[in-house]
Amino acid sequence: MKSGLRIFHNFGLYGFSCFPKFLDPFILNSMSRNTNASNFRNTEDINSWFGNSGWHMNWIVKPDSSINKTTLFKFYSKNPEKWKMAFSFLKNNDLSKLELKRYDLDGENLFVLISEYSTKNPEDAKFEAHRKYIDIQYVVSGSELIGIAPITSKDTIIQDYDQEKDLEFFTTTEKKMVNACNSEFFIFFPEDAHMPCVKDKRNEIVRKVVVKVKVD
């Protein structure tokens, strides 16, 4: 994550009140009573919620299919205002023109990192994970590959967890490589190991937005 940065690429550093109308009172009441997604009515309700663009503020960019819907629903329901603030920023700003820097939306609870960097060769990339923050990652321009693996597949530790940076590096026993471009966004939870910045066919400059959502 260090090569080719103009500003930084160590992502491990550091409103709205309505839900989609199809969410019936049972689900809304469940969301207010507790935060365990397993207590919501069923998977079909969660899939319907995920399929409605209201949760990401009708942003034209689509969520990638790799996102764990149940985990997202669990975290989202704890603090929907925070998530809507994040997606409002993504929707209502020209992300191709914003200055490369950190933008605080709610202090350490919610902030945005915008950076540009050169994609890496596969042998130079490493899996990482965070414990304090959830990542919303969106490639504004350029294209890269991102490796995705469950945290349970962690194998060899490359760098021990740094609490200040909320970051650890390691190898995994399994992985799936997916293409990241400007048509979809990704969400990585603490349970998701991810390896961003890998070149897609060729090395190129990528502009990326990462929203850091503190785990409630």
**Residues 208, 197: Cα–Cα separation, whole Å:** 10
Burial of 84 (0-12, 13-18, 19+ CB in 10 A): buried
- Per-residue pLDDT tens digits for 71-97: 999 999 999 999 999 999 999 999 999
pLDDT bin (cut points 50, 70, 90) of residue 42 is: confident
What domains can you pick out in the chain, each with its CATH number? 25-214 (2.60.120.370)
pLDDT in tens, 119-172: 999 999 999 999 999 999 999 999 999 999 999 999 999 999 999 999 999 999
State pLDDT tens for residues 187-202.
999 999 999 999 999 9
Q: Does the pLDDT value for residue 69 go beyond 90?
A: yes
pLDDT at 70 over 80: yes
pLDDT band at 112 (very low <50, low <70, confident <90, very high): very high
Tell me the mean pLDDT in the region 52-67: 97
Orientation angle between helical segments 80-92 and 69-78, nearest 10 degrees = 110
Residue-level pLDDT at 40: 55
pLDDT, the chain, mean: 86
Angle at 11 (CA atoms; ends 8, 16), nearest 5 degrees: 115
Find residue 170's DSSP bridge partners: 127, 157
* Euclidean distance between the first and the last CA atom of the chain, given in angstroms as a whole number: 27
Over residues 1-16, the pLDDT tens digits come to 444 444 333 333 333 2
